[in-house]
Structures are given as structure tokens and as C-alpha cells.
């Protein structure tokens, strides 16, 4: 018998392709509440046919925090635990049992593993801990985008880690995300002292190839005395380095990557990005060195700023290329083998691997 009353809730717009999958995976909940924010397809009908309680947003202008708070208002007050899950998320079966096992009467929030992206073999690439499972009372959402659920209850917040609760993220790559930039600019305007929003806005400018705006905003983040989380600071430094790289100012790009290494010496990402920069310069000894250093780091952080390229085939591919151009054919083959384990169907990696084998054979024949 379940100890708590659990509600899964979400906001949705034109998500009909995901409804059945999502409802299958949240079926362990006592009830499901969905706020539709303007669907023009069959999202509403499909959710209702699967038993969800569906409401339509009354807001004139969309922002994520307001929509999630509006959805939260529709959840009955006798619910104990609210499970926020986007419709492109898949919560692995058995989550209810694991949730109730970890949750105590005085628990207010649950942390869980979130697999944000996957490689072509279906293995998690970017993973971090998320915290969108919370008590029904004492929480609300803040920030127009990249929103977070904030504790506003009485007394001390009491979080737990929900071992065995795993979300997998399978987004619709074609979905329009153009609202993010204006909403992030609004977030900074509304909360100029929120260093978190400075980081996100700087990163968004990077996505939009606004290199100078990205550099200025990320430097503003780094100058903020509240910006103390080393992983996020290191990521901001890497993003500045990328902007300078795109501006062809490789000297400044290197400077910021070295700063990122110093900030987080146990993170692979700045070493791999430094190797990528040396690849552009065809500085093969440098590529070899930075990949060698990157691969000494075996443990991936579970902060949201870890990136797939540091943990997929990329470092081994770069190592193989460097070794080939340095005449280290056997090492090139070794690196290439590792790359193919992680990405066995990549045609370029397969072609390169055959090329390394052929050159190793020629080298051995000429050595006789």
C-alpha cells in the first residue's frame, strides 16, 4: 500500500507525439495534472483520453515559471508529493516505489538522476542531478525560463536523494526554442543580481553566435561575488574561450581555457576543448598532450555543465589523429579502437581506422 499521495504534473504545448509514452511512464502516480499552454494539435484530447486532468492556461503571455505555477495551483491540496516531469522526459518504471522508499514524513524535496542526452548507442552522455520533485506546499517556480522550483516554506528545507529514480530526456529536436533568448533577457532584467541568469544568458548569446555579447555577459557573471560554484565558473570560462575561438583570437581563447583548467583541474572539458583548438592550428604535439591529460580524468561530474564531447568518442578520435600525424601509428590504432567502441557505426571513424591500419602495415614493412 502506498504511503503518500503522489501527483505528476507538467505543462504542454503541441506534444501529441509524446503523450502515450509519457502517460505510460507516469502511470504509477495517483493522479496526473497537465496545463496546456496553447496546443493546436490533439494534445489535449490525447491527454484526456489517457486519464490526465487537463486545464488550459489563462495567461496572456507565456513564461515558464508562471505556467508551472498555474499548473501547480490545479493540484489538490491533499497531495503529498508533486513530481514535475516534462512531456519529453521518460521516468524509468519503478520510480514510485523508489520515491516512497526514500521519502520521509518531513522530506520536502527529492534529488534524482537526470540523463539529459544520449549517444548513438543509447548510453547516457550528459547526466546531472535534478531536483524537481517536491512537497505540495512550500514551493513555487521562479524565472521566466531555465526556471527553478524554489522553497518558500517555513523552517529548514529537507531534501533527500531518490536512489533509483531516473529521468531520461528525449527532446523534439525540431521544436521552436526561440523564446529562450528574450525570456532570458527578461530574467536578467527582472533579477539583475541573479548570477545564474547571467551565466545562462551568456551561454544563449553563444548559441546565437553573438560572440561579443556572450563574452561581456559571461565576464559579468564571473565578476559577480556570488559566482562561487567552480564548475559553472569553469564552464563560463570555456564559453568565453569558444567565443574568442570563433572570433579567430586563438591567443585569448587559450588564456580562458587555461583559466578553466585551473578552476576545475579534475574536469575533462577544458582539456578536450584545448585539444580541439590545437587541432584547428594543426599543432599535433599539443593535441597529443591535452588529450593525454584529459583521459587521465576518469570521473564525470554530475553537475549540469558536463558535456558529451568530453565523454564520447571525441577525445579518442583527436588522440588518434594526433598520433597519426606524429608517426605514432600503433598509438593511433589504440585510440581509434577506443573511439569505435563508443561510436562503432561512425563512417569517418571507421575509414580513419582502416587508414591507420594501412599506414602501420606500410611502416612495419619499410622497417624490415
54 and 116 fall within a common domain = yes
Q: What percent of the chain has pLDDT over 70?
A: 99
- Residues 158, 183, single domain; the answer is no
Residue 352 domain-assigned?
no
Residue 64 pLDDT more than 90? yes
Whether residue 195 contacts residue 220, with contact meaning beta carbons closer than 8 Å, is answered with: no
**Helix, strand, coil % over all residues of the chain, rounded to 5:** 50, 15, 35
State whether residue 271 is helix, strand or coil. helix
**Closest C-alpha to 23, from 13, 33, 38:** 33
- In this structure, the answer to whether residues 239 and 270 fall within a common structural domain is yes
Contact 307, 269 (CB under 8 A): yes
Strand partners, 133: 83, 110
Quick check: 49 and 69 in contact, CB under 8 A? no
Q: Which of 232, 253, 283 is the last residue of a domain?
A: 283
What's the pLDDT tens digit per position in 5-14? 999 999 999 9
Domain that holds residue 272: 177-283
47 plus 138 within the same structural domain:
yes
Q: What is the model's pLDDT at position 368?
A: 59
Strand-pair partners of 114 = 128, 167
Hunting for cell 551568456 — which residue is that?
202
| Same domain flag for 163 and 185 | no
Residue 302 has pLDDT above 90, yes or no: no
SS3 107: coil
Question: Do 165 and 184 fall within a single domain?
Answer: no
Of 169, 188, 209, which one is at a domain's C-terminal end?
169
Cα separation values, 257 from 15, 36, 92, 227, 264, Å: 40, 43, 37, 18, 11
Residue 36 is predicted with a pLDDT of: 98
Same domain, 134 and 208: no
Where residue 121 falls among pLDDT bands split at 50, 70, 90? confident
Which pLDDT does position 1 carry in this prediction?
67
Residues 151 and 190 reside in one and the same domain: no
Q: Give the model's confidence band at 361: pLDDT under 50 very low, under 70 low, under 90 confident, else very high.
A: confident
Query: What is the pLDDT at residue 109?
Result: 99
Whether residue 182 is found in the same domain as residue 105: no
Q: Is 305 inside a domain boundary?
A: no
In a domain, 336, yes or no: no
In the three-class reduction of DSSP (H, G, I as helix; E, B as strand; rest coil), residue 322 is classed as helix
Q: Is residue 362 part of a domain?
A: no
C-alpha cell at 104: 520521509
Same domain, 51 and 76: yes
pLDDT tens per residue across span 323-352: 999 999 999 999 999 999 999 999 999 999
Of 161, 139, 162, 143, which Cα lies nearest the Cα of 152? 139
Last residue of a domain, one of 261, 283, 305: 283
In terms of domains, do 101 and 186 share one? Answer: no
Q: Where are the beta strands (DSSP E) in the chain?
A: 6-12, 31-36, 53-56, 81-84, 89-91, 109-115, 127-135, 139-142, 148-151, 159-169
What is the CATH number for 80?
3.90.550.10
pTM of the entire predicted model? 0.90
Residue 123 · residue 30 · CB < 8 Å = no
For residues 280-287, average pLDDT:
99
Mean pLDDT computed over 5-33: 98
- Whether the per-residue pLDDT at 25 is higher than 90: the answer is yes
Residue 366 lies in a domain: no
Q: Which three cell numbers stand for residue 246?
A: 570563433
Question: What is 252-266 written as a DSSP string?
Answer: HHHHHHHHHHHH-TT
- The total domain count for the chain is 2
Per-residue pLDDT tens digits for 149-165 = 999 999 999 999 999 99
C-alpha grid cell, residue 134: 517536491
151 strand-pairing partners: 139
- CATH code of 206's domain: 1.25.40.10
Residues β-bridged to residue 150: 140
Q: Is residue 96 part of a domain?
A: yes
Answer yes or no: are the C-beta atoms of 11 and 71 closer than 8 Å: yes
Report yes or no on 297 lying in a domain.
no
126 and 254 housed in the same domain: no
Residue whose C-alpha cell is 522508499: 101
Tell me how far CA of residue 41 lies from CA of 36, 38, 187, in angstroms: 11, 9, 30
Could you tell me which residue, 365 or 167, shows the higher pLDDT? 167
Residue 340 placed within a domain:
no
Amino acid at each position: 500500500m502506498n504511503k503518500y499521495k503522489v501527483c505528476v504534473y507538467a505543462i504542454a504545448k503541441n506534444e501529441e507525439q509524446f503523450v502515450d509514452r509519457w502517460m505510460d511512464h507516469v502511470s504509477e502516480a495517483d493522479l496526473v495534472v497537465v496545463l496546456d499552454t496553447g496546443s493546436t494539435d490533439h494534445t489535449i484530447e490525447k491527454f484526456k483520453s489517457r486519464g490526465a486532468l487537463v486545464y488550459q492556461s489563462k495567461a496572456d503571455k507565456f513564461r515558464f515559471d508562471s505556467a508551472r505555477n498555474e499548473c501547480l495551483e490545479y493540484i489538490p491540496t491533499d497531495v503529498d508529493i508533486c513530481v514535475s516531469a516534462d512531456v519529453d522526459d521518460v521516468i524509468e518504471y519503478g520510480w514510485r516505489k523508489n520515491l516512497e522508499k526514500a521519502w520521509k514524513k518531513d522530506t520536502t524535496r527529492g534529488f534524482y538522476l537526470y540523463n539529459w542526452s544520449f549517444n548513438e548507442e543509447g548510453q547516457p552522455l550528459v547526466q546531472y542531478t535534478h531536483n524537481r520533485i517536491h512537497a505540495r506546499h512550500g514551493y513555487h517556480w521562479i524565472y521566466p525560463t531555465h526556471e527553478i522550483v524554489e522553497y518558500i516554506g517555513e523552517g529548514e528545507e529537507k531534501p533527500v536523494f531518490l536512489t533509483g529514480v531516473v529521468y531520461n530526456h528525449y527532446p523534439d529536436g525540431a521544436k521552436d526554442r526561440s523564446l529562450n533568448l528574450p525570456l532570458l533577457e527578461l530574467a536578467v532584467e527582472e533579477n539583475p543580481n541573479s548570477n545564474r541568469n547571467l551565466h545562462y544568458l551568456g551561454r544563449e548569446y553563444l548559441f546565437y553566435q553573438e560572440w561579443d555579447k556572450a563574452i561581456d555577459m559571461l565576464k559579468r557573471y564571473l565578476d559577480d561575488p556570488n559566482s562561487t560554484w567552480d564548475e559553472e565558473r569553469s564552464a563560463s570560462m570555456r564559453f568565453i574561450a569558444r567565443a574568442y575561438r570563433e572570433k579567430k583570437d586563438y591567443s585569448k581563447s587559450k588564456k580562458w581555457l587555461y583559466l578553466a583548467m585551473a578552476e576545475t583541474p579534475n574536469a575533462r572539458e577544458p582539456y578536450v576543448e584545448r585539444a580541439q583548438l590545437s587541432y584547428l592550428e594543426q599543432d599535433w604535439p599539443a593535441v597529443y598532450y591535452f588529450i593525454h591529460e584529459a583521459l587521465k580524468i576518469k570521473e564525470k561530474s554530475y553537475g549540469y555543465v558536463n558535456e558529451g564531447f568530453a565523454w564520447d568518442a571525441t577525445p579518442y578520435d583527436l588522440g588518434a589523429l594526433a598520433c597519426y600525424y606524429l608517426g605514432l601509428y600503433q598509438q593511433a590504432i589504440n585510440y581509434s579502437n577506443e573511439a569505435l567502441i563508443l561510436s562503432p557505426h561512425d563512417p569517418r571513424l571507421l575509414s580513419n581506422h582502416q587508414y591507420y591500419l594501412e599506414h602501420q602495415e606500410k611502416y612495419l614493412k619499410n622497417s624490415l
